[in-house]
Amino acid sequence: MALSKTQSARLGSFLAVVFNEDVPTEYMREIVEAGYVEKCSQGYRLTSRGLNEKNRLCALIGLNVKYLSEKKAPPERGNSPST
């Protein structure tokens, strides 16, 4: 499925934030005001709302772009030693 112009611009802005790239002022203002991005000590970061929207838009176009912190940990194996 193709994204609309608005969705494409939003996803591009989200990915620029994720990869610490420059985002045009107009787009940054929109995503900050919408609550998708917040300012932090290292610049900007996606909020939980922003992460959800990024994941939704990525899913619509078949991408799987996630922070390491978003990836599920592999299931733990039993504590018994292997022989």
Tell me: the pLDDT tens digits for 29-80? 999 999 999 999 989 999 999 999 999 999 999 888 776 666 665 555 655 5
| Domain coverage including residue 44 | 5-63
Q: How many domains does the chain have?
A: 1
**pLDDT of 1 higher than 80:** no
The CATH number for 57's domain is: 1.10.10
The residue written with tokens 């494409």 in the block is: 8
DSSP state of 67: -
Q: According to the model, what pLDDT value does residue 42 have?
A: 87
Ordered alpha helix ranges (H), the chain? 5-18, 25-33, 48-61
List b or e across 68-83, with b for residues whose CB sees 16 or more CB atoms inside 10 angstroms: eeeeeeeeeeeeeeee
Whether 72 is in a domain gets the answer no
**pLDDT of 4 higher than 80:** yes
User: Nearest to residue 48, comparing CAs of 60, 36, 57, 58?
Assistant: 36
Q: According to the model, what pLDDT value does residue 81 have?
A: 56
Spell out where the chain has E strands.
Answer: 37-40, 43-46
